[in-house]
Structure 1
Amino acid sequence: MKSPTTADLTIFLCIAQHLNFSRAAVELGLTPSALSHSLRALENRLGIRLFNRTTRSVALTDAGERLFTRLKPAFRDIDDALEDLNSFRDKPSGNLRITAGRQACELVLLPIISQFLKEYPDIRLEIVESDALVDVVAGGFDAGVRFGNRLEADMVSLPIGPTMRSVVVGSPVLFEQHAVPHKPEDLHGVPCVRHRFPSGSVYRWEFERGGIAQEIEVSGPLTLGDVSLMVGPALQGVGLAYVFEDMVTEHLADGRLIQVLADWCPFYPGLHLYYPSRRHVPAPLKAFIDFARSARQLKT
């Protein structure tokens, strides 16, 4: 039996990582049909089926799962060895994949990536927007950006944004028809714009004062899946919105929106860059960590 090549095993690992031929093909720069042909050739050479495939799904067989488990750390060591060579370059190079929610992209990533790419022209940066909680290892990402209170304990994290808070706001028109709430329970009598997570659950508004925490399940005529879309309906008087303070600063200043329950809206940990603990941090990620750290210090 002819032994599989490194290229064969790289294709297998990429498919196993994504469990999706189209996404694996994009990452490898191949067509899905070429990828499928290469996988069939590998399975024929090994005499073992590695994946169960239908028109709708791709799943590892027991043999494929075992091979994936054994190969993944070995290829990580190879990647680390190649990354070590970056120390001999004037500037690091390679691919950097980051997953982040839309607000994280708008608040901390987009403002700094232009200068980062100018300083590191040989780094190819990909940012994948997703508000779902993403496993960076399983998703093939180098790092992610999320709020500090939503990180797994086994992740290394670095704050790259200031502490933040959300605020409850409504238009003057709304308060002509409804009483101003003075405590969280009063929200039950006021229409609100709700937020649904990618998981399907609806966000319960969180409050805290004097060490007392409360979660309120609000109701209202409109539910949205993107926090940044809530400001418009709030301005139009559709309902109260619970949004990031930075999103409504100007509207509060010019009186188009009114803040309520201010003493119930505490500050919480801001956005963090997080990544798996490894012996060798890839050079492109290390460059981004150092850059993000310096950019944050300049703002403070």
Structure 2
Amino acid sequence: MNGVQQSKAGDLFALSVFLAVAARRSFQAAAIELNVTRSAVSHSVKSFEQRLGVRLFNRTTRSVSLTEAGERLAAKLRPAMSSITEALQEVDDFRASPSGTVRINASDVAIRMILRPILARFRHAYPQVHLDIVTDGRLGDIVAEGFDAGIRLAEAVPQDMIAVRLVDTVRFAAVASPDYLAARGRPTVPQDLYQHDCIRFRFESGAIYRWEFERHGIAETINVDGPLTLTDQILMAEAAIDGIGIAFVPDFLVMDAIDDRRLERVLGEWCPSFPGVCLYYPGRRHVSSGLRALIDTIRGDGGSKSD
């Protein structure tokens, strides 16, 4: 292998930058992922293209896209870089304590329910591990987007992933403020919701969530209507507290408001429990010591450094 070839093969940073830009279609997003400046990303890509003598990206003021040469190179490099990353992670396991960055993709609710309660404890136990947590309502491809793991409801975990059950079940609650119920009355069956102001939830895909109820084996799906549609379930609960209407959210988000009577449950006997929350990761990928430490901490097995 000559000097030029060694330079091309050995510049892991340039390859990492190239693949990050290829995945994100954005210099800025790649810079954030790699924790470097945008100018460093731009310079690295430009130098890499000059060394290869081939343009890898088409750039405009609004978009970045791969050229045909870039597409082919990215397709060849992804598995190779994945193998290199896995090899480095395996070596890292020989360290006295976990270290490195663990990137997690999770919904806002999962972050508040699963991660928020353990963050301080995890930081104290594993000070050399950096958690990079991205709030994302989409069911994205965690492998393609460079995440170590995702956290979602069990029913949403892709079948080709290894899932670690963190919470057995999640129960939903239909809630409204006492003032709203005093003015509008209480629904007694799901169909009554058609006569009420409901606070709807929109997925990031654009679809509106249809409220799902069940009682004695009878399932009801209600396409509610109302004055407000949100993509944030925390805001939905707050809007219900403000008297805007009835919200349908995971009950752990509203337990405090129920306890201090800012909210009241309705249709309690109809509100279902769903399969619990899982952390998931690709089975073919090495599980880093940092990710294992996070899983153990969430499940209550962590809190002290592993042997």
Given the two structures, how large is their TM-score scaled by the length of structure 1? 0.91
Matched, 1:284 2:286: no
Decide whether aligned partners of structure 1 residues 252 and 87 sit closer, same or farther in structure 2, where only a CA change above 3 A counts: closer
Cα distance in structure 2, aligned partners of 1:29 and 1:231: 34
Does the CA-based 8 Å contact 2:101-2:130 persist in structure 1?
yes
1:153 is displaced (CA, Å) by 0.8
The yes-or-no answer on 1:243 pairing with 2:249 is yes
Distance change >3 Å, CA 254–CA 112, structure 1 → 2: closer
The CA distance in 2 between the partners of 1:177 and 1:290, in whole Å, is 48
Q: Which amino acid is 2:70 matched to?
A: G
Match of 1:37 in 2: 43
Structure 1 pair 31/254, CA: closer, same or farther in 2 (3 Å)? closer
* 2:273 partner SS: coil
- Are residues 1:128 and 2:142 paired? no
CA distance in 1, matches of 2:265, 2:39: 56
Is the 2:114–2:298 Cα contact (8 Å) retained in structure 1?
no
Match of 1:109 among 103, 112, 115: 115
Secondary structure, counterpart of 1:98 in structure 2: strand
Structure 1: unaligned runs, 5 residues or longer: none
Distance change >3 Å, CA 119–CA 220, structure 1 → 2: same
More displaced stretch, 146-155 vs 20-29: 20-29
In the alignment, the residues of structure 1 paired with residue 252 and residue 147 of structure 2 have an alpha-carbon distance, to the nearest angstrom, of: 28
Q: 2:163 aligns with which of 154, 157, 164?
A: 157
| 2:258 is the counterpart of 1:252 | yes
- The residue correspondences of 1:1-20 to structure 2 (distance < 5 A) are 2-3=4-5, 4=8, 5-6=10-11, 7-20=13-26
Change (3 A) 1:282 1:250: closer
Report 1:1-300 matches (<5 A).
2-3=4-5, 4=8, 5-6=10-11, 7-295=13-301
Residue 204 of structure 1, CA deviation? 1.1
CA distance in 1, matches of 2:143, 2:100: 18
Shift of 1:42: 1.9
- Structure 1 residue 91, shift from structure 2 partner: 0.4
CA distance in 2, matches of 1:252, 1:33: 50
Q: C-alpha separation between the residues in 1 aligned to 2:258 and 2:285?
A: 48
CA apart distance, 1:136: 0.8
Give the letter aligned to residue 221 of structure 1.
P
Paired residue secondary structure (2:152): strand
Tell me the SS of whatever aligns to 2:124.
helix
Residue 206 of structure 2 aligns to a residue in which SS? coil
Identity of aligned residues (%): 46
Q: Deviations over 1:17-41 (max 9, x none)?
A: 2221112223334432332232222
Answer whether contact 2:165 2:278 (CA < 8 A) is retained. Answer: yes
- 1:226-260 CA-partner distances (Å, limit 9, x unpaired): 11112233233221111221222243344443322
The CA distance in 2 between the partners of 1:279 and 1:41, in whole Å, is 31
Per mean C-alpha deviation after superposition, the further-off stretch among 29-38 and 276-285 is 29-38
Partners of 1:244 and 1:43 in 2: how far apart?
49
Q: Is the 8 A contact 2:163 2:279 kept in 1?
A: yes
CA distance in 1, matches of 2:161, 2:286: 14
Q: How far is 1:123 from its partner?
A: 1.0
* 1:200 Cα offset (Å): 2.0
Residues 104 and 150 in structure 2, CA contact (< 8 A), matched pair in contact too: yes
Change (3 A) 1:41 1:255: closer
Runs of at least 5 residues in structure 2 that lack an aligned partner in the other structure: 303-307
Structure 1 stretch displaced more, 139-148 or 252-261 = 252-261
Residues 93 and 288, structure 2, Cα contact 8 Å, conserved in 1: no
SS of 2:278's partner is: strand
